[in-house]
């Protein structure tokens, strides 16, 4: 499984989880099977509300899940249409998130419980 975590910086597993998916400066992608890490710059971080296209930024980095503090219903819907699940992060760092993901301790984000605006987390 390839898990995408929006992060504040490029510090790998020590990177702090960013508050919202689409506006994160970076995406830290962790492969739970190969235990490899990749960091992608989010070139679409500055967008109008509801206009983010993070899957386009992630490009060839096929992912299976996104774990973040907050995400709007439109982003959840786009991810789900691409067979990607979204989960709400509870930890402070990418390492915390990966451990919680592996232990099935994360709440799934759905269209019904998604954020209504930036800053909702």
The runs of H, that is alpha helices, within the chain are 54-58, 73-81, 94-102
Report the alpha-carbon distance of residue 24 to residue 37 in Å, rounded: 17
CA-to-CA dists, residue 11 to 4, 22, 71, 80, angstroms: 14, 19, 22, 28
Position 116 scores a pLDDT of: 66
Phi, psi of 75 (to 5 degrees): -65, -40
pTM over the 0.85 mark: no
Position 71 scores a pLDDT of: 82
Position 53 scores a pLDDT of: 54
Beta strands in the chain (DSSP E): 2-7, 26-31, 36-41, 65-68, 85-88, 107-109
Position 82 scores a pLDDT of: 86
Domain limits of the chain?
2-109
For residue 84 the two structure tokens come to 């990607």
CATH number of the domain located at residue range(s) 2-109 in this protein:
3.30.420.130
For residue 46 the two structure tokens come to 């500055």
* Per-residue pLDDT in tens (0 to 9) along the chain, 121 residues: 999 999 999 999 999 999 878 788 999 999 999 999 999 988 765 444 444 555 565 664 589 999 988 788 888 888 888 889 999 988 999 999 999 999 999 999 987 867 765 445 5
Neighbouring CB atoms inside 10 A of 62's CB total: 13
C-beta separation of 114 from 76 below 8 A = yes
Helix, strand, or coil (residue 80) = helix
For residue 13 the two structure tokens come to 């597993």
């Amino acid at each position: 499984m390839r898990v995408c975590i929006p992060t504040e910086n490029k510090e790998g597993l020590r990177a702090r989880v960013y508050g919202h998916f689409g506006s994160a400066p970076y995406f830290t992608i962790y492969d739970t099977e190969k235990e490899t890490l990749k960091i992608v710059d989010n070139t679409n971080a500055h967008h109008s509300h509801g206009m983010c296209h993070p899957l386009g930024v992630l490009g060839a980095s096929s992912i299976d899940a996104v774990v973040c503090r907050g995400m709007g219903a439109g982003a959840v819907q786009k991810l789900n249409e691409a067979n990607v699940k979204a989960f709400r992060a509870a930890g402070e760092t990418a390492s915390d998130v990966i451990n919680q993901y592996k232990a099935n301790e994360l709440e799934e984000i759905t269209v019904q419980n998604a954020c209504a605006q930036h800053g909702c987390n």
